[in-house]
Chains A and B, each alone.
Chain A
Amino acid sequence: MCVFGASAALLLWFIYASTSGFMDQQTDETINAEIRGLSEQYAQQGLNGLVHVIQARVAADKSGSSVYLLTNWKFAPLAGNLPQWPSFSETQDGWLTLNLEEPESGRMRETRVRYFLLPGNYHLLVGRDVTERNKIQGMIMDSLGWALFITAALGGAGGLLMSRRMLGGLDVINKASREIMNGDLNRRIPLRGSGDEYDRLAANLNAMLDQIVLLMNGVRQVSDNIAHDLRGPLNRIRGALELSLRTAKTPEEFREILENATVEIDKLLATFNALLTIAQAEAGSRREDFRDVDLALLAQEAAELYEPLAEEKGIAFTVDLAPELYVPGNGHLVAQALANLLDNAIKYTPSGGRVTVTLKKEPSGPVLSVSDTGPGIPEAFREKALERFQRLEASRNTPGSGLGLSLVAAVAKLHHAAIELADNEPGLRASLRFKAA
């Protein structure tokens, strides 16, 4: 605001200074030209000629804006339209500004004059009335002043309006933010529909809030699920222990109950361990410890570990691995992810089915897949199946924590790999698509 005002004032002052300076210069040049002309007349035609010329010029000047006076060495007037030599103190360059009285009207007129000493001690005074010029300069000054005032007023009012608008927009956002901070997470910042920066800011903040709510719901869902899934086994253990306190008589009976309880608690601990591993993989803090993982070797070893399990269940087990495929990663976690996939595949494939482990080199990078001929996962549930504790209703009664695929998803994310659940027609094909190194 200040900068704007100052620059406007500076601009106007510059306009004034240059126009009025130009006008002053014009006046002085005219006077100089006259003096040059008159002294030439004097040099050529002598005193009489000069007197004639002066009288002629006075006669020609109807407006009376010109001033001429020629005197002898005693300052007695010889020609011109001033009654007497005005009193003034001499200046170096002969320039003066005098207030002269107009003979007829007695008006005081501001006059710019130059006096000049002609050879023979004749004094010559030539001047121009600058009252008009000063008036014009005053008018310019006035109008520029007005211009400055109007500019300042308009600028001030506009700035005030703008800042009020700005603060108004921010106020709305601040108010909504406070309400949201106070716990109303579903509150949104109202849009004014103007599509300006404030609306865009508000829209972005609203989108951010939507995302936060989504994440919060996710976290809430997970903790609800954890609580729910852990309460079940705990209730079972508690019930069994309480019952045994009331009904068990022999040490053998107590032993059996305690052994069962230990097995249940071990399952709970396994669930906790899986949750911790997922959390560690999701935190992704260990990427700096990544080493090149030989995927074929890793898959070969996992396949060897699980092959007898498949055979036991009457499931055909095929392994097809492309060699020499490496990805930077945490071998233990990738092995665990693959083990989880194999575990699921064998668990859900009925006897007589087939489980296949493949490692293929694709342009996008290595793809590690486990396919089965089990019931598969309906397309609508595939996304959900990667979340913690999400299990198909149909598989509720099969053993498992509902964390296997979540761990696979977390490990995939840690390795910047995409996890893909597809229809194996029939069955499920789970693939980890690594990025080409």
Chain B
Amino acid sequence: MKILIVEDDLEAAAYLAKGLKESGYQTEHVADGKEALYRIAAETYDALIVDRMLPGVDGLTIVKTMRSAGNASPVLILSALGDVDDRVRGLKAGGDDYLTKPYAFAELLARLEALLRRGKGDAQETVLRVGDLEMDLVSRTVTRAGSAIDLKPKEFSLLEYLMRHAGHVVTRTMLLENVWDYSFDPQTNVIDVHISRLRQKLDKGFDRPLLHTIRGAGYSIRETR
């Protein structure tokens, strides 16, 4: 997996590259917007991490340019601007996700993995499976080992998001943004309570838990062996 980092803060870029390398990614780095456009035109990347404020050509212009050239590689925009409207503008320009600086590396990694996975899953699929857990998206029912699990609508959406990212870490802010459409971080970890409720319904009475808490990062649904 090859990732292009477009970031003019060299220290931040080095830290990012190091973290991604440790997680098994290949990275390239450019510090300038024009240079980034040349690279994007010449090579293919699995994903791009683009800082919004850049010398020369700014991040949003890079994304717009590559999108109009038909390049559909996923882009994660980084920005020091944290306003809800800034986020909306970033996504409108063609970014796939938007992360405000300063961010936790675990958050960035989780979002990057979500982006890389996107498009691989079949959008047409009507049943999601993780181990013996089954979610029917048409009848909106969930069963584990054949027995039905009764979920409230929000719990269903929460589980759906987790199952679509099965095997990967999903952070609390990703859940807030995608399940609740909240782009702020509540003071209390309300998400934890929702997860523990969901966990009660999914894992209670089963030897192998499916819903896991990843310390310092978030949650993941996966089959353990």
Question: What residues make up the interface of A, taking CB atoms closer than 8 Å to B?
Answer: 259, 262, 266, 269-270, 273, 276-277, 280, 286, 289, 301, 304-306, 308-309, 312, 330, 332-333, 335-336, 339-340, 343, 346-347, 399-401, 404
| Docked complex Cα distance between A149 and B84 (Å) | 77
User: Across the interface, do B188 and A309 meet the contact criterion of CB distance under 8 Å?
Assistant: yes
Chain A hits for B216, CB < 8 A? 259, 262
| Docked complex Cα distance between A312 and B191 (Å) | 13
B15 within 8 A of A: no
User: Across the interface, do A343 and B186 meet the contact criterion of CB distance under 8 Å?
Assistant: yes
Chain A hits for B182, CB < 8 A? 305, 332, 335-336, 339
Chain B hits for A269, CB < 8 A? 102
Contacts across chains A and B counted by CB atoms under 8 Å: 57
User: Across the interface, do A305 and B184 meet the contact criterion of CB distance under 8 Å?
Assistant: no
| Docked complex Cα distance between A277 and B100 (Å) | 13
User: Across the interface, do A273 and B188 meet the contact criterion of CB distance under 8 Å?
Assistant: no
Chain A hits for B28, CB < 8 A? none
| Docked complex Cα distance between A346 and B188 (Å) | 10
User: Across the interface, do A305 and B180 meet the contact criterion of CB distance under 8 Å?
Assistant: yes
> Nearest CB to that of A262 among chain B residues?
B216
Given A306-B190, A308-B193, CB of A286 within 8 Å of CB of B184:
no
User: Across the interface, do B83 and A343 meet the contact criterion of CB distance under 8 Å?
Assistant: no
Number of interface residues of B (CB under 8 A): 22
User: Across the interface, do A304 and B185 meet the contact criterion of CB distance under 8 Å?
Assistant: no
| Docked complex Cα distance between A309 and B188 (Å) | 9
Chain A hits for B82, CB < 8 A? 273, 276-277
| Docked complex Cα distance between A305 and B154 (Å) | 9
CB distance from B154 to the nearest CB of A (A): 6
User: Across the interface, do B85 and A270 meet the contact criterion of CB distance under 8 Å?
Assistant: no
| Docked complex Cα distance between A428 and B184 (Å) | 25
User: Across the interface, do B190 and A332 meet the contact criterion of CB distance under 8 Å?
Assistant: no
13 contacts between A and B (CB under 8 A): A269-B102, A301-B180, A306-B190, A308-B190, A309-B190, A333-B84, A335-B182, A339-B186, A343-B186, A343-B187, A347-B188, A400-B187, A401-B187
CB distance from B157 to the nearest CB of A (A): 11
B window 50-76: CB within 8 A of A: none
Looking at the complex, which one of A280, A304, A404 makes contact with B83 (CB distance below 8 Å)? Answer: A280
Chain A hits for B83, CB < 8 A? 280, 286
User: Across the interface, do B185 and A270 meet the contact criterion of CB distance under 8 Å?
Assistant: yes
CB distance from B204 to the nearest CB of A (A): 16
| Docked complex Cα distance between A340 and B194 (Å) | 18
Chain A hits for B194, CB < 8 A? 305, 308
Chain A hits for B193, CB < 8 A? 308-309, 312
> Nearest CB to that of A330 among chain B residues?
B84
Majority-rule SS of A interface residues: helix
CB distance from B170 to the nearest CB of A (A): 17
4 further interface pairs, Cβ-Cβ under 8 Å (given A332-B84, A335-B182) = A277-B184, A305-B182, A305-B190, A305-B194
B window 148-194: CB within 8 A of A: 154, 180-188, 190, 193-194
| Docked complex Cα distance between A312 and B216 (Å) | 23
User: Across the interface, do B184 and A339 meet the contact criterion of CB distance under 8 Å?
Assistant: yes
CB distance from A259 to the nearest CB of B (A): 7
5 closest A-B pairs by beta carbon, nearest first, are: A332-B84, A308-B193, A336-B184, A309-B193, A343-B187
User: Across the interface, do A289 and B102 meet the contact criterion of CB distance under 8 Å?
Assistant: no
Q: In this complex, which of B84, B187, B216 has the most chain A Cβ atoms within 10 angstroms of its Cβ?
A: B187
B137 within 8 A of A: no
Chain B hits for A333, CB < 8 A? 84
CB distance from A282 to the nearest CB of B (A): 13
B208 within 8 A of A: no
B127 within 8 A of A: no
Interface string of B27-49 (1 = CB under 8 A from A): 00000000000000000000000
CB distance from A6 to the nearest CB of B (A): 65
Chain A hits for B183, CB < 8 A? 332
B10 within 8 A of A: no
Chain A hits for B187, CB < 8 A? 270, 340, 343, 399-401, 404
| Docked complex Cα distance between A95 and B194 (Å) | 122
User: Across the interface, do A332 and B197 meet the contact criterion of CB distance under 8 Å?
Assistant: no
B214 within 8 A of A: no
> Nearest CB to that of A312 among chain B residues?
B193
> Nearest CB to that of B187 among chain A residues?
A343
B14 within 8 A of A: no
CB distance from A129 to the nearest CB of B (A): 101
Chain A hits for B181, CB < 8 A? 301
> Nearest CB to that of B84 among chain A residues?
A332
| Docked complex Cα distance between A269 and B101 (Å) | 10
CB distance from A214 to the nearest CB of B (A): 29
CB distance from A404 to the nearest CB of B (A): 7
Chain B hits for A332, CB < 8 A? 84, 182-184
| Docked complex Cα distance between A380 and B23 (Å) | 55
User: Across the interface, do B85 and A308 meet the contact criterion of CB distance under 8 Å?
Assistant: no
> Nearest CB to that of B154 among chain A residues?
A304
> Nearest CB to that of B186 among chain A residues?
A339
CB distance from B84 to the nearest CB of A (A): 4
CB distance from A277 to the nearest CB of B (A): 7
Chain A hits for B102, CB < 8 A? 269
| Docked complex Cα distance between A309 and B180 (Å) | 15
Q: In this complex, which of B85, B182, B190 has the most chain A Cβ atoms within 10 angstroms of its Cβ?
A: B190
User: Across the interface, do B186 and A308 meet the contact criterion of CB distance under 8 Å?
Assistant: no
| Docked complex Cα distance between A304 and B104 (Å) | 27
> Nearest CB to that of A340 among chain B residues?
B187
| Docked complex Cα distance between A401 and B187 (Å) | 9
Interface string of B98-111 (1 = CB under 8 A from A): 00101010000000
CB distance from B109 to the nearest CB of A (A): 15
CB distance from B188 to the nearest CB of A (A): 5
